[in-house]
Amino acid sequence: MDETFTRRRVLGAAVAALVVSPVRPARAAGIFRLGLTPVFLDNDAAVIDGLRLALSRLMGREIELVQRRTYEEVTGLLLEGALDAAWLCGYPYLQHASALELVAVPVWRGRSLYQSYLIAGADDPAAGLPDLRGALHAFSDPDSNSGYLVTVTDLRRMGERVETFFARAIFTYGHRNVVRAVANGLTRSGSVDGYVWEALAKIEPSLTERTRVIARSEWLGFPPICARAGSAGAEPVEALRKALLTMAETPEGQRALSALQLDGFEPADPSLFDGIAARMADLER
């Protein structure tokens, strides 16, 4: 009885959160708000707390990490000023390049680059994207480079369209969700952030073992930390940039980076995202 009520309450609350999703219009003074796109560990409170704690120490101020279901929501919050900075994807950064500035970019396995993986079930015979015609496919987010743009542009290069090539395409709004969808057989294939898949392979091998990478994209610019244009170089974004760049030097920072399986952060140049820009250009053609 109690158990069911609890469950019902939890489900109800989840639905309410999804439907209502209120956005705080004004921000409290002194608190730094950093938006997070649904990265692989967004379901792990310990990782989020570690990151918040490390940044808070380094910046000497309270940090609030703001999570939303979609990239679009986070990007919107940043653009409207509800966030001081946000960890975005290269694709939305490029979509709003004129309004945004790069603060830093993570370093993964020595480089600020990552790939998009096309995955299928572990026992799926598909050898590449062309074999997935008529499949049920899982994308991460319509504003994700690795979880959407790469596959869509690949299809475009094959002269195909998502709507006709796949029997049905769904958005899971999370890279980990894409892996879950494919691993559990909800969809036959999925487009996922290669960094997320590799990280999951270490911490949740039972999940990734049930999937198989059937195609990898070229190396593309790693999702960067962005701020509104003009706010970089001034407080408090400058403090964030310094904190990120020196994160690897503090124990809390190392713990946070280790949880994120990142080496650190480095200054970013817009040219890092030329590959993504090329794909965007393909899409618009």
Site for other proteins, rule CB under 8 A: 1, 3-4, 7-8, 11-12, 14-15, 18-19, 136, 138, 167-168, 170-173, 177, 180-181, 184-187
Beta bridge partners of 265: 106
- DSSP character at residue 257: H
Q: Which is nearer to other proteins, 39 or 100 (CB)?
A: 39
* Least CB distance to other proteins at residue 70 (A): 12
Q: Which is nearer to other proteins, 168 or 216 (CB)?
A: 168
* Least CB distance to other proteins at residue 241 (A): 35
Q: Which is nearer to other proteins, 11 or 127 (CB)?
A: 11
* Least CB distance to other proteins at residue 231 (A): 34
Q: Is cis: bond before 236, omega within 30 of 0? A: yes
Is residue 63 within 8 Å of 31, Cβ to Cβ? Answer: yes
Helices 175-183 and 194-203: crossing angle in degrees, nearest 10, is 70
* Least CB distance to other proteins at residue 29 (A): 36
Q: Which is nearer to other proteins, 58 or 179 (CB)?
A: 179
DSSP reduced 3-state for 133? coil
- DSSP per residue, 182-246: HHTTSSSEEEEEHHHHHHHHHH-HHHHTTEEEEEE---EEPPPEEEETTTTTSTTHHHHHHHHHT
* Least CB distance to other proteins at residue 86 (A): 23
